[in-house]
Structure 1
Amino acid sequence: MDVTLKTARLTLRQPVMSDAARLARFLDNFAVSGNLSRVPYPYRLADAKAWLRTWSPGFPAGETGFTIDLDGEGLIGHVGFHDDAQGTVIGYWLAQPFWNRGLMSEAVRSALDWYFETTGAARLDSGVFHFNKASLAIQKKLGFIEIGSSYRLCLARGEEVRHIDTQLSRAAWAEHR
């Protein structure tokens, strides 16, 4: 779906090839990539271009992603949906220079609003590696609950890592709006 979302400070838009340099710059940081399942480290320009070639505006809601642009700054992160063993999950990352400003909560809230308004989904799954307290705090603030734990491969770390599995029901989303 070719969708653009606006918040008070952000524009969430479809990724484009011209994003490659900033993606590579921000994901080639272990403090970011080491918190993600599907991102290698080091992360090079070729990785960014290969990932961007996989995007299409025709994807259904459960496979849609949004580049996060900060007004006046440009690309600072990404939030998106994809199919996983849990079902449809939301994942996200924010470039380290922009941490601790409430930007990720703002972006994820907007993406969640769009997802639940666009789909008939009863729930959405997610989770974090056990050491990613900031991401877990964002999820809890937005109504996600812990539903268990598992182990997931972290490409950047090259190993299976304990993962806290979370879930957001449509009812909890409506309550936290």
Structure 2
Amino acid sequence: MSLALNTGRLILRLPRMEDAERIAFHLNNFGVAGNLARVPYPYFLADAKAWLRTRHADLPPQETNFTIEVPGEGVAGSIGYHMGSAGEPVIGYWLGQPFWGRGYMTEAARAALDWYFDVTAEDRVLSGVFDFNTASLNVQTKLGFTEIGRSTMHCLARNAEVRHIDTELTRDAWIGQKR
């Protein structure tokens, strides 16, 4: 299956093994990895290749990931879904530091959420941020996510439990904010 989402400035496509070097380059930055729960630091090429081996074109939407590509600049990050511990879909994302501050993640997330709500019957998507990650929280706020609680979450890169702001986006809120 070939799945690609095009925005005004980005291409979101299924990850490929040839993305491994760029993924490893961007995630081997504590400024990026330290904001993510499930990414170790340091992050090696072998880590990227191992993750890419788990990515298949036939995965259900709740397990689909997209590589975020900036035309002319290459792989800039990733956005995708996984099933959380409560059995509900969770959206997660990261962007390489050279691409911060350009509005790319909001643009990518809008496309990924449009796709997700179009191809599933899910009523909501969960997410969240470590409490110090105001940039990511700002992205979620722009998209209509709301806070549903506070918790702690283990951060592999920090090897620590970190305070976390839990968020959700309901289908109704997504449709309502697009009007």
Give TM-score, length-normalised by structure 1: 0.98
Question: 1:23 maps to which residue?
Answer: 23
Taking the aligned partners of 1:111 and 1:176, their CA distance within structure 2 comes to: 15
Separation in structure 2 between the aligned mates of residue 107 and residue 49 of structure 1, nearest angstrom: 23
Q: Does 1:108 align with 2:109?
A: yes
Alpha-carbon distance in 2 for matches of 1:108, 1:150: 23
Displacement of 1:143: 0.3
2:136 corresponding residue in structure 1: 135
1:11 and 1:156 map into 2 onto residues whose CA distance is 28
1:145 is the counterpart of 2:150: no
Cα RMSD (Å) of the superposition?
0.8
How many angstroms apart in 1 are the aligned matches of 2:93 and 2:129?
A: 10
Residue equivalent to 2:32 = 32
Which residue does the alignment assign to 1:93?
Answer: 94
Read off the aligned partner of 1:25 and give its amino acid letter. Answer: F
Amino acid paired to 1:126: S
Look up the match of 2:170.
Answer: 169
Q: Does residue 69 of the first structure (1) align with residue 50 of the second (2)?
A: no
Letter in 2 for 1:14: L
Q: CA deviation at 1:2?
A: 4.2
Assess if the C-alpha contact under 8 Å between 1:79 and 1:93 holds in 2: yes
Q: Partners in 2 of 1:17 and 1:143 — Cα distance?
A: 33
Q: Does 1:44 align with 2:44?
A: yes
C-alpha distance in 1 between matches for 2:74 and 2:49: 18
In structure 2, the gaps of 5 or more residues are none
Task: Give distance in 1, aligned partners of 2:2 and 2:33.
Answer: 26
Aligned residue-pair number? 177
2:6 maps to what in 1? Answer: 6
Aligned identity (percent) is: 59
Q: Over residues 5-64 of structure 1, what are the superposed CA-to-partner deviations in whole Å (9 max), with x where a residue is unaligned?
A: 000000000001000100110000000000000000000001011110111000000100
Name the residue aligned to 1:82. 82
Q: Normalising by structure 2, what TM-score?
A: 0.97
AA at the equivalent of 1:24:
A
Bigger mean CA offset, 55-64 vs 83-92: 83-92
Partners of 1:145 and 1:88 in 2: CA distance: 16
Q: Secondary structure at the match of 1:59?
A: coil
- C-alpha contact 1:2 1:58 (8 A) present in aligned 2: no
